[in-house]
């Protein structure tokens, strides 16, 4: 393979692995508030119309401001979607940091983790993001892949680290902490994400979410066979 091919492939890889952050625009406090309103309005419009059919003019009409400001800050509709994902990822990271599972017994740690993450999965932003990456992922593969490689991977990594610590301490028996983190995550959120994203489950009740999460923790820790 020649040098130009290597360079081309590397550029493609960098593009796929990159994330479109907000454009470096200096904004006053009022401008930052406008940005948040753009993101809130975009979340509403994406929820109602789907990502592909959402119109920037409608987002601007709901948020106020101008289309020129939206383009200046986000670039385009895809930039808006990336910014929504980024805001959701920051919220998710804060939730995981607040948990501080290290040292907690598995029953307590996993129940806390399940409830905290389940609450976040049903937010309007989470619904929009999952609809885009799951329902429209084939049309927007870079956005989809970045979400799975960063947002989903961040949760699994935190769980995997905790499982490794608990296995080392003799409090859990797991053949693969990494695989267990993936299985635990999907037990908790696989059905929930699909139902919420497809519109089958709208505005889930917080108590039902907690009960759902606790049942998944019980099954994960204790299994289904009598002992």
pLDDT digits (tens, 9 = 90+) for 19-46: 455 555 656 667 678 888 999 999 999 9
pLDDT tens figures, 88-138: 877 777 776 777 788 889 999 999 888 887 777 778 888 888 888 888 888
- The SS3 assignment for 140 reads coil
Contact in structure between 118 and 209 (CB atoms under 8 Å): yes
Measuring CA to CA, which residue among 141, 124, 131 is closest to residue 50? 131
Tell the burial category of 203 from Cβ atoms under 10 Å away from its Cβ (0-12, 13-18, 19+): exposed
The length of the chain in residues reads: 227
Instruction: Say which range, 1-10, 107-116, 198-207, has the weakest mean pLDDT.
Output: 1-10
- pLDDT tens track for 49-89: 988 899 999 999 999 888 998 998 898 998 898 888 888 87
List phi, psi (to 5°) of 37: -70, -35
- Most confident of the ranges 63-67, 143-147, 189-193: 63-67
Cα 121 to chain centroid, rounded: 8
SS3 content of the chain, % helix, strand, coil (to 5): 75, 0, 25
Q: What is the 3-state secondary structure (H, E, C) of 87-136?
A: HHHHHHHHHHHHHCCCCCCHHHHHHHHHHHHHHHHCCHHHHHHHHHHHHC
The confidence score (pLDDT) of residue 14 equals: 36
The tokens describing 121, both together, are 């999965």
pLDDT on residue 23: 55
- H or E segment at 9? helix 3-17
pLDDT at 207: 82
Rounded to an integer, the average pLDDT of 174-197 is 87
> Model pTM?
0.72
């Amino acid at each position: 393979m020649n040098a130009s091919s290597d360079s081309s492939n590397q550029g493609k890889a960098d593009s796929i692995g990159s994330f479109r952050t907000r454009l470096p625009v200096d904004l006053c406090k009022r401008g930052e508030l406008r940005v948040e309103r753009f993101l809130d309005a975009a979340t509403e419009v994406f929820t109602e119309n789907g990502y592909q059919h959402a119109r920037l003019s409608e987002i601007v009409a709901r948020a106020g401001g101008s289309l020129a400001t939206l383009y200046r800050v986000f670039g385009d509709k895809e930039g808006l979607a990336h910014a929504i994902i980024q805001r959701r990822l920051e919220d998710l990271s804060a939730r995981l940091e607040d948990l501080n599972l290290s040292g907690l017994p598995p029953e307590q740690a996993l129940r806390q983790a399940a409830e905290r993450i389940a609450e976040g999965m049903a937010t309007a932003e989470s619904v929009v993001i999952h609809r885009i990456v799951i329902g429209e992922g084939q049309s927007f593969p870079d956005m989809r892949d970045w979400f799975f490689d960063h947002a989903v991977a961040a949760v699994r990594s935190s769980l995997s680290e905790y499982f490794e610590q608990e296995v080392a301490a003799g409090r859990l028996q797991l053949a693969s902490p990494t695989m267990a983190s993936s299985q635990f995550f999907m037990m908790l959120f696989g059905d929930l994400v699909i139902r919420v994203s497809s519109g089958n489950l709208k505005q889930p009740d917080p108590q039902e979410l907690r009960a759902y999460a606790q049942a998944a923790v019980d099954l994960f820790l204790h299994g289904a066979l009598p002992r």
